[in-house]
Structure 1
């Protein structure tokens, strides 16, 4: 199957939508990235680290996207599903330098653990966003010295319907810093977030889908037996009638 980019992103403007590669199968991620870039969208990569190891997009896939698309706007979200700093945080910093990322988003514990390295990365032009999970989406002071917030409408690392009640937080956060929105974003939610002040939105399954498979036409069923020869039948009837008349 091939990946299809839904056209609704055009209504929001150039680079206002970042397509999540986590939403498509691994074998289709490069194709999806190419479609996004050629359509004027950003490319969003979720690297997810849980207690059982890596999930989501791999580091190798991230580097392959940059090799294929040197000019694409790449947004990296490092999602850590356990408490405390993660050993992959330095890899995210290195990817920021190697790949000239547009943004790097992660949660406060990872930012605190890598703060000097992340500040050095910011000086190269990579924007640092704090992941704001639903449990943190209430009134709060953002971390100092950041370039924005990534407001999550679902718990990070999950695939579920967005909590639309959190969209109202976009306007609140946007009063103090740039905001991007991620997590179950549909076309309708994307428009609401943009009206509320979101700089861009991240969308996966509502933006990237599969072309419907086309089934091969089937031949009509073959009939068994033979069709009676109407001409022969008619002749038989005529002959019988003639014999009775004679």
Structure 2
């Protein structure tokens, strides 16, 4: 299934969970705070802008925000919160689609670069970010660290979360660096709803090499948006890459 088919109208309608999950203030607040600082008064471009989870509050902080998004259904949901004049969005693939203008910040949050399922597409995404930035511009990527240490030899799957009404099961293809997340939702009956999302996982070192190929240097890496130190035990990272400034 193509990524554009996954993020359809039904998924877009259920995507927003105001006040909880990735929309919780303790998750969203530090994200917006950090991005606003990194923009340094310039304009920001969000790859895979979705329903505007980050873009809407960031624009509310006075940062001009534009977006690129593959799913028209997600953009329709965004339009219930902000019009085209406030947050312009180009429909297309974040690896190749361009938006007009020059930006001081391009950002990709919540593991979205992993939605590109080949290394070549992920490298192209870095190059596309560089294409939109002026000298000294930054590209920010939020991504999880593959948890292959949880995977015993011969076992292709691991349970990532088990909450009342929800189970997340990941199945791995370590040869291709692919993982499929299986989201099981239970509504109190005997029936369950299954939603699958494919990803290509990326190690931090591989991500850094992609950045170098696009002309970036790693400026900082933390375990979260609050600036917690990144260690071997960190389960995710926020990596800030920067283009060289003008001579």
TM bracket, shorter-chain basis: 0.3 to 0.5
TM-score for both structures, normalised by structure 1: 0.35
- Identify the structure with the greater strand proportion: 2
TM-score for both structures, normalised by structure 2: 0.35
